[in-house]
Structure 1
Amino acid sequence: MSGVQRAAVVLLSLGEAQAAEVLKHMSAKEVQKLGVAMTSVSGVSRESVGKVIDQFVDTLAQPSGLGSGADEYVRAVLVQALGEERASGLIDRILLGRNTSGLDTLKWMEPRAIADLVRNEHPQIIAIVMAHLESDQAAEALKCLPDRVRADVLLRIATLDGIPPNALNELNDVMARQFAGAQNLKSSSVGGVKVAANILNFMDSGQDEQILGAIGEVDGELGVRIRDLMFVFDNLAEIDDRAMQAILREVPNDKLSVALRGAEAKVREKITSNMSQRAAEILVEDMEARGPVRLAEVEAAQKEILSLVRKMADAGTIQLAAKAEAFV
């Protein structure tokens, strides 16, 4: 069995509550991949299940055969993990036909492929499409579009306040025909300043400022609102000590030492003040021993830590400052 299939066997061996807790710590893409695998696992022998379980938990009792009633199990687990509203669309994609279509299909495409698909569309159409994607995916897709288009699209995303369901369905139908599907979206609530800020959070350093500058020339007040809602690495200095300590327990020291190379002094102070004296000394020694580090490595490390912070905030493990509302 593949790794995903083995993970599906483990989750099917757990109770609904325990499986839901596991899924809460996974991304939408991971949840969908596991959900599809869970619905397709059938006819697994006791011996095979035992071998899989032994790889994860030696003390887990050997379960019975799996496969029957998997659809109902997956539905119950997803609702517990994500809530009825968030889970409904994902349940449809997993259980109804096992495939996605229309705008939802784009969420599972490579960013460059999405950019190629919408490159020649009107900026308003591109904005609607990008607003439906995950923020990091939308940011990667925007990077593949011409510079002149990026600011226009972000401006339109920030000023989106939902669109008529019939217009959204028409756009979805156009996309669906390209993928030979026919699934309507359940919600027309897309876009907004927070969505635009979230997407900019995932843009490369310099690109975000370029886009914000272009937006500010068109609508200065809107540019300020977007900037205020963005959460960048330096904003870590603004979170409370308990949240910082929780973050530090999850971040490897080698990753932290690279990320801090490009951080403001207040961020370094915030981090070291929430470590033991010995741990802070080791961190500083590690930074000094490494020597020069490329800017790309620093930015990559910071983005990785910010991604972890976002997952912790989404899971309710930590609370971020009010300025970071868009980020969570």
Structure 2
Amino acid sequence: MSQAPATMNANNGKLIVEKNAAHRELNGDEKAAVVLLALGPDFGRPIFEELDEIEIRQLSRAMVNLGPITQQMLDDLFVNFVTSLTSNGSLSGNADSTERLLLSFLSPERVDSIMEEIRGPAGRNIWEKLSNVQEDVLASFLKNEYPQTVAVVLSKLTTDHASRVLGSLPEELAMDVVARMLALEPVQKEILDKIENTLRTEFMSTLSHTRRRDSHEQMADIFNAFDRQTEARFLTSLEELNRESADRIKALMFTFDDLTNLESAGIQTLLQSVEKGELSLALKGANDATKDYFFRNMSARAAKNLKEDMEAMGPVRLKDVDEAQSKLVNIAKDLSARGEIVISKNRGDEEMVA
């Protein structure tokens, strides 16, 4: 006996299923959408709160396109759901649950290695992951690929990152890629899937092993966060234990005095981004050379006012000076990360042209 067409909607937390819809198999997204609709706002909200934006969009799209669901389809779905829940104890397949499972029979070091390889750089999909890879590293990999493949990859990246990667490629290859990007047509899903799989298996999976952060670089960042007394104490002790490591860390540290290596345009950009009070406090404890460099890159009136503010402050705590200088260094690093200034340890390292 045939049934009449059925429709489905949520009403006060209940799933209303009308009769007579054709029975069909549901995919994973559709099953999740049906369950959440059946739970309704009250019981479904805690689940939605555990999802990220991409997952919410994915489920919302499945709900919109769900179409008719029969009572039999609904019954079968919940029978399978309850059966799976009671037999397996959990239906959560994510990074956290996987890591907990691995920790039950593997060492923490081995689990860290596995999860780092799976996660790769920050990002939800392969293209977001690539946007967190340094341009020279990505360019080094892409230069061995077909120009058409490189064109497709760059077309999927953000324009800023794509421009930096393109600039890091050999010129002949880069111009070939530019020409192909200009003529690029919509890429078939099968081809795009193949490119994504290649990037994931041949590039991203090995990146975490080949580009592990240098421990001295990490320690230099930690030392940068110290106040100057703690920094001096640790460096002195480290010099006694391991002079080579101490020298490497000092070479990697970026300090307030290193701001004098900024070009005039860079220091002026920095000055526009800091509060006057923070600048006065930071310079109050700076050496004369650093003070002079800042003053030279201000107007005569601004420099005069700043000097007067510093004199009016009177004695200040060294801790407050350190905090102000750290804020300026962090602002400079943020500006550098956005490409607004270029910072370096030593301006003498830069290439000079006549």
| Fold shared per TM-score above 0.5 | no
Query: Which structure has the bigger radius of gyration?
Result: 2
TM-score (norm 2): 0.42
Greater RCO, CA 8 A, separation 6+: 1
